[in-house]
């Protein structure tokens, strides 16, 4: 018991050293670039570089919220793919029980996709689907 605890406490110092190294590295990078970096202020210094073309307009435009829905959708089904691939790797070992489980899992995901399609979440442009027609947000 005692040796075990002693072992655990001694194991902590590499972590402290590591944290110190990380801080030192970050500090060094910032300091060196501050010392060596150029400091000049021309007309186009602050402009974003877009392959030599003068930028037009602002990058901060309102995006349709549906974009975020699609992003969320992507995450959901991306994670589904992760599980499917893991199961595929253990296809034979998992057997019929594993098959039933993955079918249930994919079925629930499919039901979710069906729902999202019907409420119009898949329409990136043009707002809401026919199902969502007419109310709530405008009030």
Dihedral of alpha carbons 82, 85, 89, 91, sign: positive
In this chain, which of 97, 125, 126, 138 binds another protein, going by CB under 8 A?
97
Min CB(115)–another protein separation in Å: 4
Is 131 one of the binding residues for another protein (CB under 8 A)? yes
In angstroms, rounded to a whole number, what is the distance separating the alpha carbons of residues 90 and 105?
A: 16
Comparing CB distances to another protein, the nearer of 67 and 118 is: 118
DSSP calls for 44-58: TTTSPP-TTPPP-S-
3-state secondary structure of 55: coil
Is 133 one of the binding residues for another protein (CB under 8 A)? no
Comparing CB distances to another protein, the nearer of 26 and 111 is: 111
DSSP class of residue 24?
Answer: H
DSSP class of residue 50?
Answer: -
Is 114 one of the binding residues for another protein (CB under 8 A)? yes
- What does the binding site for another protein look like in residue numbers (CB under 8 A)? 1, 5, 8-9, 97, 101, 108, 111-112, 114-115, 117-119, 131, 135-136, 139
């Amino acid at each position: 018991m005692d040796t075990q605890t002693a072992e655990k406490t001694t194991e902590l110092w590499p972590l402290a050293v590591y944290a110190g190294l990380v801080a030192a590295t970050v500090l060094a990078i910032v300091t060196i670039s501050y010392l060596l970096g150029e400091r000049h202020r021309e007309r186009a210094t602050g402009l974003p570089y877009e392959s030599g073309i003068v930028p037009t307009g602002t990058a901060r435009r309102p995006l349709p919220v549906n974009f975020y829905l699609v992003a969320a959708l992507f995450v959901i089904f991306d994670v589904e793919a992760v599980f499917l691939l893991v199961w595929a790797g253990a296809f034979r070992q998992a057997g019929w029980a594993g098959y039933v489980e993955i079918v249930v899992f994919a079925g629930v995901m499919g039901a979710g996709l069906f729902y999202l399609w019907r409420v119009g979440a898949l329409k990136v442009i043009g707002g809401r689907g026919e199902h969502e027609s007419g109310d709530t947000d405008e009030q």
